[in-house]
A and B are shown apart, each in its own frame.
Chain A
């Protein structure tokens, strides 16, 4: 709790107390706290990156801070073997399908919740959110049966649809917040100007909330990309995602830590790219939402 106390006690620029010593301290302490936290965040990632450049033998025998006898072999194996690199393609496929479906169904729903009162609106909103509270472990077997019965087992569609269960409630909530930040007068003016509802929605309204769509897409990507249980249950060979390929490797031939580390590092990269795209939007508009 020292970081918290220090941050709270510290006046920031412009709001500082007169004494210049306490002002300097007030700038130093938050910076120090942030630095410490970022170090805590980055060290494990550094450690796995370091391992990804090492062979299993050096990993198990040496604990130097820098990579020992660095090599690119692990990455060569992954990028040269279709069972590895196609897994990344499979994962990205269902994540993107999930994003598309989730946004397509959440956008109109969020608009309805933000603009209209209708029969059972509060109940439906709450019911949507209860799906976020169902442990994935509960649905493993029923999902397997359901998606086998409709012939989608071992396709990206099965995973994408299953993931909408916990992605959509959050998407509706975030979008509703951003939409409520747009004054209704804009809708009304557009309707008076003769816009039809779909045309207004697509050409006027969506551009207005594009930062909200970006943030929502970020969360869709995140929760679908990191999930393992459902992805493992709903695929076998053809649509096997990278997270599953990694666990299968682990159980088959003992643990090749170097290879696993390299595969792990490669799962981090798409996420970094996605954060980079939404970095400037993420701070905007969240606070507008209803809670």
Chain B
């Protein structure tokens, strides 16, 4: 759309600007402050430069958490994006069936994080949970409190259960916006179902899928409550993701300086990844 050049539009974004500045800039400055100081107690602090950053970047526990986090986010995206698109394709378009399906699909999205964790904590338990029982009855040993692989499978299933609906809703919205004549033209040309998907539906989904991809990346990279409730980061440290590590440092051990330095690096990593993904997905959409 052609837009008018008018700097008075700043008045319209001023409320958002002030709100976010209050909420983001002041706390961010606090974090920057902590990251450069050593705090012994109230009023006793010393400027130590980039020492905490150096420590963070060398901490093997953080390295391990970082690799774990990348693996987790990678798997989440690899599972949820294709599954979400596939399910969106199976949803009916219009009518009461569509409404009913959307309501059912979306329910997990509105369940609080710790309730999601609680649900899966019980559901996957070998003695009293439905999933744990069924899997063990099939002869596959499954116990998320003792076995890291089981813990990962549980957390990935939980995340797919909670967040695939978001991908479905966005993809479904994209599919509904494709005008019917596109499909008619494809039918006249005798296009196969795959060709319809590849050359009509997928290009139209590029926009919503970019957002779905970015949101799922950011949120899975920041995941805290759900795995924490289910496994507490264990067994061992096999499900200690970055946020769990960070909260342990800041709240558990009260290492404010290192935690602040870690926070800033963490934030920058998410920013960098998001920017790279955004650029790649935009290019892919244009090509």
| Interface residues in chain A, defined as those with a beta carbon under 8 Å from any beta carbon in chain B | 1, 3-4, 7-12, 14-15, 26, 30-31, 33-34, 37-38, 40-45, 47-48, 51, 59-60, 62-63, 65, 101, 104-106, 108-109, 111-119, 121, 124, 127-128, 130-143, 145-146, 161-162, 164-165, 168-170, 172-173, 180, 184, 221-222, 225-229, 242-243, 246-247, 257, 260-261, 264, 267-268, 270-272, 274-276, 279-280, 282-291
Question: How big is the B interface, by class?
Answer: 35 or more
Whether the pair B222, A135 counts as a contact (CB closer than 8 A) is yes
In the complex, which residues 155-194 of chain B have their Cβ closer than 8 Å to any Cβ of chain A?
A: 161, 165, 169-170, 172-174, 176-177, 183, 186-187, 193-194
How many Å lie between the Cα of A268 and that of B197 in the bound state?
Answer: 35
How many Å lie between the Cα of A260 and that of B122 in the bound state?
Answer: 11
CB distance from B278 to the nearest CB of A (A): 8
In the complex, per-residue mask of B255-287: 1 if CB is within 8 Å of any chain A CB, else 0: 010000001101100110010000000100000
Residue from B89, B127, B131 with most neighbouring chain A CB atoms (10 Å): B89
Inter-chain contacts of A10 with B (CB < 8 A): 193
Whether the pair A228, B107 counts as a contact (CB closer than 8 A) is no
19 more A-B residue pairs beyond the given contacts A7-B87, A34-B101, A280-B99, with a C-beta to C-beta distance below 8 A:
A3-B83, A8-B197, A14-B183, A15-B186, A48-B118, A63-B129, A114-B1, A115-B4, A118-B7, A133-B267, A133-B270, A134-B267, A135-B270, A226-B110, A228-B112, A229-B247, A264-B111, A267-B112, A283-B176
Inter-chain contacts of A243 with B (CB < 8 A): 112-115
Whether the pair A33, B90 counts as a contact (CB closer than 8 A) is yes
Whether the pair A132, B218 counts as a contact (CB closer than 8 A) is yes
Whether the pair A47, B123 counts as a contact (CB closer than 8 A) is yes
CB distance from A160 to the nearest CB of B (A): 11
How many Å lie between the Cα of A108 and that of B15 in the bound state?
Answer: 8
Whether the pair A113, B13 counts as a contact (CB closer than 8 A) is yes
How many Å lie between the Cα of A45 and that of B107 in the bound state?
Answer: 9
Whether the pair A4, B9 counts as a contact (CB closer than 8 A) is no
Whether the pair B104, A38 counts as a contact (CB closer than 8 A) is yes
CB distance from A7 to the nearest CB of B (A): 5
In the complex, which residues 208-244 of chain B have their Cβ closer than 8 Å to any Cβ of chain A?
A: 208, 210-211, 215, 218, 221-222, 224-225, 242-243
Whether the pair A44, B120 counts as a contact (CB closer than 8 A) is yes
Inter-chain contacts of B19 with A (CB < 8 A): 101, 105, 161, 164, 168
Give 5 pairs: A residue, B residue, CB < 8 Å, sorted on A.
A15-B187, A40-B161, A109-B17, A137-B222, A264-B111
Partner of A264, one of B28, B118, B270: B118
CB distance from B109 to the nearest CB of A (A): 6
Whether the pair B102, A283 counts as a contact (CB closer than 8 A) is yes
Inter-chain contacts of B82 with A (CB < 8 A): 1, 4
Whether the pair B86, A4 counts as a contact (CB closer than 8 A) is yes
Which residue of A has the minimal Cβ distance to B176? A283
What are the 4 closest A-B residue pairs judged by CB atoms, nearest first? A271-B110, A142-B27, A286-B173, A4-B86
Whether the pair B256, A141 counts as a contact (CB closer than 8 A) is yes
Q: Does B20 contact A (CB under 8 A)?
A: yes
Q: Does B23 contact A (CB under 8 A)?
A: yes
Inter-chain contacts of A270 with B (CB < 8 A): 110
Residue from A41, A101, A274, A276 with most neighbouring chain B CB atoms (10 Å): A41
Partner of A115, one of B3, B176, B251: B3
How many Å lie between the Cα of A96 and that of B12 in the bound state?
Answer: 23
How many Å lie between the Cα of A250 and that of B282 in the bound state?
Answer: 46
How many Å lie between the Cα of A153 and that of B2 in the bound state?
Answer: 45
In the complex, per-residue mask of B1-33: 1 if CB is within 8 Å of any chain A CB, else 0: 111111111101101110110111011101100
Whether the pair A112, B104 counts as a contact (CB closer than 8 A) is no
Residues A4 and B110 in contact in the complex (CB < 8 Å), given A286-B173, A287-B177: no
How many Å lie between the Cα of A161 and that of B26 in the bound state?
Answer: 13
Which residue of B has the minimal Cβ distance to A145? B30
CB distance from A64 to the nearest CB of B (A): 10
How many Å lie between the Cα of A197 and that of B271 in the bound state?
Answer: 36
Whether the pair A9, B86 counts as a contact (CB closer than 8 A) is no
Inter-chain contacts of B256 with A (CB < 8 A): 141
Residue from B106, B221, B250 with most neighbouring chain A CB atoms (10 Å): B106
Residue from A33, A63, A141, A221 with most neighbouring chain B CB atoms (10 Å): A141
Q: Does B105 contact A (CB under 8 A)?
A: yes
Q: Does B108 contact A (CB under 8 A)?
A: yes
Whether the pair A246, B27 counts as a contact (CB closer than 8 A) is no
Whether the pair A279, B99 counts as a contact (CB closer than 8 A) is yes
Residue from A62, A65, A283 with most neighbouring chain B CB atoms (10 Å): A283
Q: Does B85 contact A (CB under 8 A)?
A: yes
Partner of B86, one of A3, A168, A271: A3
Inter-chain contacts of B128 with A (CB < 8 A): 59-60, 62-63
Residues A142 and B31 in contact in the complex (CB < 8 Å), given A4-B86, A112-B13, A135-B270: yes
Inter-chain contacts of B131 with A (CB < 8 A): 43-44
Which residue of A has the minimal Cβ distance to B2? A184
Which residue of B has the minimal Cβ distance to A163? B23
Which residue of A has the minimal Cβ distance to B165? A41
